[in-house]
Structure 1
């Protein structure tokens, strides 16, 4: 079994003009759907759309729900490198050989203001994105977490998430669809959960009830226990935010 290698990219747009995000998502998902028809191993650095390859697979394209803590406006994308380090990841690196002119001529550049990419390695037991796509899994909402962990503690934290947090959140309609160790650093972990609005609200209210701030629903003290447990692994901040899948992306409802 070869470890899954992925890329998470957060793209920001300025000035504040939400039409740019829509145009970006339309173009990106459209040309990546075309790439699904390419032959295996057929990778090409083009003028206008960068590298074209089926091994660099756009599995998730999301519009960030700004009211949950994202800069407004933002797009988040999740890419699966088929074949791991020697597959899609190698193809992405090869576009930087010789620093050719078409590397700088992307049709998407005028839409984007900035982007931050995280290379990800799947944690043991994490569901592979290709498996989710083959299953036809999709959720109307996704919970995205970035956690700053003690140096070297990312995999231990993710194991605890899978064994202790995931069963509790499953009772609230959340499914763990990604658990990743951020590569080329030893202080960050990322998780991704499929959910929906009602499930999200149930978790928030159950936590408030456990804090004594909502007497209209049953309290679930396991939600507070997890936050104490998580601090064993954390060294800095963690943040959970919500993502809405763009229609036509592979993890979006059809």
Structure 2
């Protein structure tokens, strides 16, 4: 399904994770994007990010704003595939299939807590290595080498939008992993540093509100960007209406 400039996979969580793991077995390489309103905003406003996302080849809908926009523009109701749930489901399948995971992002204590909790949840999970997300650009070559030397099959990058996708794109051709995915603040939640919104708030599309309560200074800065995303969708809808009536 085409949404704006993106080819979306209209799959549920389990089938998306299974397809990605099957790709690892068959030697395919997937650059995964869990599309939300902030990503669309950065894509529209940031030329470097726009060009980076042209390398993405597996996109799933995440975020209530994107789901509503799809319903408005495409006249289709699709299921949400939250990035953190996709990451966890991939980890579950990887633990059963002996696939190796590498984590890149967050502070060192956060990523080590994330590893501890992932191993408790999925005892068979093979964590091939990790590195914090606070490094100079000059260190990227060393980190790429570390990831390749770890023989990781799957790379989760938790450095936030747009930094994580820019880094993946910059190093995509040199990385030997088969699944590469930006996961935003998922390490903060899995580590226990932040709480995830209750299920009822997730169903109502209010996760952003819950996150804002926990991180007001960080999240309030994003609201103008989300408003601009909504305005872009409204403009696109009005253009479609005028085109249809003409």
Taking structure 1 as the reference length, what is the TM-score of the superposition? 0.25
Higher RCO (C-alpha under 8 Å, 6+ residues apart): 1
More strand by share: 1
More helix by share: 2
Taking structure 2 as the reference length, what is the TM-score of the superposition? 0.25
